[in-house]
Amino acid sequence: MMRRVLVLLWLVVAGGGAVVGAAQLPDTALVQGVVGRAQAYPLSCESRSAADLAAYWGVRVSEAEFLASLPRSDNPDVGFVGSPYGAWGRTPPYDYGVHAEPVAQRLRAYGLDAAAYRGLGLDDLRAEAAAGRPAIVWLVGNVWAGAPQVYTAADGRQTTVAPFEHTFLFVGYTPSSVALINASNGQTEYYRTADFLTSWAVLGNMAVLARLPASTLAGAVSAVAAPPVAGQTSYTVQAGDRLASIAVRFNTTWPVLAQLNQLTSPYIIYAGQTLRVPTGGGAAPIYDHSAAGAQTYTVQAGEYLAQICRRLGLDWLAVAQLNGLTPPYIVYPGQVLRLDAGSAPAITPSVYLVQPGDTLAAVAARFGLDWPALAALNGIVYPYKIYAYQELRLR
């Protein structure tokens, strides 16, 4: 049980903490480590989003189990309406789905501190993403502008419903867009902020916010109390680094680093920041040469493929091919990657999937292209921004 608690806490510190105030919000944020999967039934989007949210926090519950645990009702504010096998686009009392309140209630039953909200603002969601916490949001279709309807349930209670009600995980944002994991396909998709706000407003800006209970965090912190630090060195934070992944690299724990650098919740660090790190354990080896000369790397919490390969000076597309990874190239903590990418054949794709941290100029340089030509080929104009998991034509 303690090992499970530590794993949960690891995920929190890799990208979590208290809500960040609106005035302190960064211009962009993306919650790392959220794995989306496609819903299994025509009307199970809410259960799919809930299961993916729970998995992010280390709570294992399948989509089918979560769906079966929901109460049934003709009122979506009380329970699941109709059959999950029904046709999408209808409203109660016909097959429909479920709203935020029953979903939050079930997430609490699985051990998360979850609450249903209506009338939230965009900065509320941005603050959650900046603190490393995904949120479930209720939209219409694939971020469509829908029409609300007032429905009176059999018990006389009224609620607002909408045809094509659908859920996403809100996982990030840029100055002009939001990053959502679509329950229908499990993919991370970017939408214009204005379109998102229009669609979100149809059902009253409804969302479920969740985190680990404070008691879980407190218990785990006491279990990994920071030991005395004998010696120190310094480390410059790289783009994509998390406190937990740095701790692993230097054979220490995140509470030690936090205490040493006077960091407090939400334990945010920045690229270019200099951290003091203990020298007692030495840096952890990146490579494992034991398997007949093959080089391997064990993925740490909060890491993604492009980040790992940049740090090791490798072509991430070659490493992806070597390990049988396909878009969106998700890797998991504890996964062992083969790195002997020199033996892999050269990859010259016609389409490139943008990875977190990429810039247009960096992508162009990687493939020996002229970045203005690449921008023109993809219809990208000033200020030439690209987004994680965006597809770029290379020829």
Compute the radius of gyration of the chain from its Cα atoms: 22
Alpha-carbon gap, residue 203 to 137, rounded angstroms? 10
Compute CA distances 93 → 81, 86, 100, 152, 203, whole Å: 7, 12, 17, 9, 17
> Whose structure tokens read 């230097």?
250
213-253 pLDDT, tens digit each:
755 444 444 433 344 444 678 888 876 666 766 776 776 66
H or E element, residue 115: strand 113-117
* 2-214 and 226-278 in the same fold: no
Distance CA(237)–CA(273), nearest Å, equals 5
Q: Where do we find the tokens 């909200």?
A: 117
Domain residue ranges in the chain:
2-214, 226-278, 301-393
| Mean pLDDT, residues 28-53 taken together | 92
Rounded-to-integer distance, Cα 288 and Cα 277, Å: 23
Quickly name the fold that domain 226-278 has.
Membrane-bound Lytic Murein Transglycosylase D; Chain A (3.10.350)
What is the CATH T-level fold of the domain 2-214, as seen in this structure? Cathepsin B; Chain A (3.90.70)
CA distances from 342 to 119, 295, 346, 364 (A): 53, 11, 9, 21
- CATH 3.10.350.10 for domain 301-393, yes or no, is yes
Distance between start and end Cα atoms, the chain: 52
Span 314-372, pLDDT tens digits: 777 778 888 887 766 677 777 888 876 454 444 456 677 777 677 887 787 777 677 88
Q: What H or E segment, with its residue span, contains residue 198?
A: helix 193-201
Report the percentage of the chain scoring pLDDT > 90: 37
